[in-house]
Amino acid sequence: MNLHGGIGMTSQRTRARMIDRLLEQGIKSPLVLDAMAAVPRHIFLEEGLQHRAYEDTPLPIGEGQTISSPYIVALTCELASRGNPMDIVLEIGGGGGYQAAVLARLAKKVVSLERIAKLVGKARRTLRELRINNVLIKNVDGTYGYPAGAPYDAIVVAAAMPFIPDELKAQLKPGGRLVAPVGRGEVQHLMVVEARENGYSERDMEAVKFVPLLPGVA
């Protein structure tokens, strides 16, 4: 089996099948589908798991954390961007950097916050290897966002929050969108918050399963 080259389970053809599946699952934005097709998901996994990279499942990335499934990454990117190119996006819960790499193709600049230093190191190395240089990764607790980079076109949260802090909503541009799994249990609601002229609208999209947002850095 060839894990790195063009003919194994990590080949272009395997990736094309993932895109077909995303279409079937209802992902419509050509920008998002192109970004998903362009980013080599297997590079974000350790060798023993690379052959499963294009399956629709979350997979372990070390430190008890997971890389989100392709569908969840595509869905949250589509909801955040509405299929339009963006200037600046904030990601909370960057993990190994996979979604940041996808977002880097949808926005001019990505700020990605990750509390676990080891994952920050890994993510920086992988993005450098892929020559992606429009992602700023910060080893901080992202619960309240990153006001220094605000306002954002979109905020994508990749860890379950018990509620959405007002401080986060305040970092959206007018018309900007925040996508976050909200709930205290094992299953959460994927919420989309949009900044309107006179307040915020909120929509509940579907049931999702994310790792919990945790306080502090590690």
Residues labelled as active-site residues? 68
Q: Which residue of 22, 127, 179, 213 would you call a contact of ligand SAH, by CB under 6 A?
A: 213
Crossing angle for the helix pair 70-81 and 12-24, nearest 10 degrees?
60
Output the smallest distance, CB 63 to ligand SAH, in A. Answer: 7
Size of the site for ligand SAH (CB under 6 A): 25
Output the smallest distance, CB 13 to ligand SAH, in A. Answer: 23
Applying CB under 6 A, which part among 18-26, 27-35, 87-95, 164-172 lies near ligand SAH? 87-95
Name beta bridge partners: 66.
60
Amino acid (1-letter code) at residue 142: G
Q: Which residue of 53, 75, 90, 94 would you call a contact of ligand SAH, by CB under 6 A?
A: 94
- Which residue matches tokens 């929509």? 203
C-alpha span between 96 and 79 (Å, rounded): 22
Residues 6+ apart with CB under 8 A from 80: 86, 89, 154, 155, 156, 177, 178, 179
Applying CB under 6 A, which part among 2-10, 145-153, 191-199, 206-214 lies near ligand SAH? 206-214
Q: Which residue of 68, 81, 126, 171 would you call a contact of ligand SAH, by CB under 6 A?
A: 68
Angle at 59 between CA 185 and CA 53, to 5 degrees: 145
208 binds ligand SAH per the rule CB under 6 A: no
Output the smallest distance, CB 30 to ligand SAH, in A. Answer: 21
Output the smallest distance, CB 115 to ligand SAH, in A. Answer: 4
142 binds ligand SAH per the rule CB under 6 A: yes
98 binds ligand SAH per the rule CB under 6 A: yes
Nearest to 208 by CA among 95, 87, 68, 114: 68
42 binds ligand SAH per the rule CB under 6 A: no
Residues 146-185 that bind ligand SAH (CB under 6 A): 158-159
Residue window 102-121: x/- pattern of binding to ligand SAH, with contact defined by CB under 6 A: -----------xxxx--x--
Residues at the contact surface with ligand SAH, assessed by CB under 6 A:
65-68, 73, 92-96, 98-99, 113-116, 119, 141-143, 158-159, 211, 213-214
